[in-house]
Protein backbone atom coordinates (compact mmCIF):
# COMPACT_ATOMS: atom_id res chain seq x y z
CA UNK A 1 0.00 0.00 0.00
CA UNK A 2 2.80 2.44 0.85
CA UNK A 3 4.67 1.62 -2.35
CA UNK A 4 1.63 2.50 -4.45
CA UNK A 5 1.22 5.81 -2.63
CA UNK A 6 4.89 6.64 -3.17
CA UNK A 7 4.61 5.75 -6.84
CA UNK A 8 1.50 7.91 -7.14
CA UNK A 9 3.41 10.85 -5.66
CA UNK A 10 6.48 10.41 -7.88
CA UNK A 11 4.66 9.75 -11.17
CA UNK A 12 3.59 13.39 -11.91
CA UNK A 13 7.16 14.57 -11.35
CA UNK A 14 8.45 11.89 -13.72
CA UNK A 15 5.86 12.82 -16.37
CA UNK A 16 6.79 16.50 -16.08
CA UNK A 17 10.51 15.73 -16.52
CA UNK A 18 9.82 13.57 -19.59
CA UNK A 19 7.57 16.30 -21.03
CA UNK A 20 10.33 18.89 -20.69
CA UNK A 21 12.86 16.52 -22.26
CA UNK A 22 10.53 15.98 -25.24
CA UNK A 23 9.38 19.59 -25.69
CA UNK A 24 12.72 21.41 -25.34
CA UNK A 25 14.34 20.17 -28.60
CA UNK A 26 11.14 20.79 -30.58
CA UNK A 27 10.89 24.28 -29.02
CA UNK A 28 14.39 25.16 -30.24
CA UNK A 29 13.82 23.66 -33.71
CA UNK A 30 10.55 25.54 -34.26
CA UNK A 31 12.21 28.77 -33.11
CA UNK A 32 15.24 28.31 -35.38
CA UNK A 33 12.93 27.54 -38.30
CA UNK A 34 11.23 30.91 -37.86
CA UNK A 35 7.93 29.55 -36.57
CA UNK A 36 6.37 30.20 -33.19
CA UNK A 37 7.93 27.86 -30.61
CA UNK A 38 4.51 27.24 -29.06
CA UNK A 39 3.88 24.79 -31.91
CA UNK A 40 6.13 22.37 -30.03
CA UNK A 41 3.27 21.72 -27.61
CA UNK A 42 1.38 20.06 -30.46
CA UNK A 43 3.87 17.18 -30.31
CA UNK A 44 1.83 15.72 -27.45
CA UNK A 45 -1.27 15.36 -29.63
CA UNK A 46 -0.70 11.99 -31.34
CA UNK A 47 -1.75 12.54 -34.97
CA UNK A 48 -1.24 16.31 -35.00
CA UNK A 49 2.33 15.91 -33.73
CA UNK A 50 3.32 13.73 -36.68
CA UNK A 51 1.62 16.07 -39.16
CA UNK A 52 3.40 19.09 -37.69
CA UNK A 53 6.71 17.24 -37.87
CA UNK A 54 6.16 16.80 -41.63
CA UNK A 55 5.17 20.47 -41.93
CA UNK A 56 8.41 21.41 -40.21
CA UNK A 57 10.48 19.10 -42.40
CA UNK A 58 9.11 20.26 -45.74
CA UNK A 59 8.25 23.91 -45.05
CA UNK A 60 10.30 26.83 -46.29
CA UNK A 61 12.36 27.95 -43.29
CA UNK A 62 12.19 31.69 -42.79
CA UNK A 63 15.48 31.99 -40.93
CA UNK A 64 18.67 31.39 -42.89
CA UNK A 65 22.05 31.50 -41.15
CA UNK A 66 24.09 34.50 -42.24
CA UNK A 67 27.36 33.89 -44.01
CA UNK A 68 30.44 34.92 -42.12
CA UNK A 69 31.97 38.01 -43.70
CA UNK A 70 35.58 38.80 -42.92
CA UNK A 71 36.91 42.34 -43.02
CA UNK A 72 39.21 43.15 -45.93
CA UNK A 73 41.58 40.35 -46.78
CA UNK A 74 42.04 36.87 -45.45
CA UNK A 75 41.21 35.85 -41.89
CA UNK A 76 44.13 35.99 -39.46
CA UNK A 77 46.33 32.93 -39.41
CA UNK A 78 46.53 30.77 -36.32
CA UNK A 79 50.11 29.80 -37.14
CA UNK A 80 53.10 31.64 -35.67
CA UNK A 81 54.90 34.04 -38.04
CA UNK A 82 57.52 32.42 -40.30
CA UNK A 83 60.98 33.99 -40.37
Query: pTM of the predicted model, to two decimals?
Result: 0.62
| Mean pLDDT for all residues in the chain | 83
pLDDT digits (tens, 9 = 90+) for 4-24: 888 888 899 999 999 999 899
How many whole angstroms separate alpha carbon 30 and alpha carbon 16? 21
How many whole angstroms separate alpha carbon 4 and alpha carbon 7? 5
Share of the chain above pLDDT 70, in %: 83
Determine how many CB atoms are found less than 10 A away from the CB of residue 32: 13
Domain coordinates of the chain in residue numbers? 2-57
Give the CA angle between residues 54, 49, 57 to the nearest 5°: 20
Amino acid sequence: MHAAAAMLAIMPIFVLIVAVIVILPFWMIWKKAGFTPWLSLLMFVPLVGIIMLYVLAFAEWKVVPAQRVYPAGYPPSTLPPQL
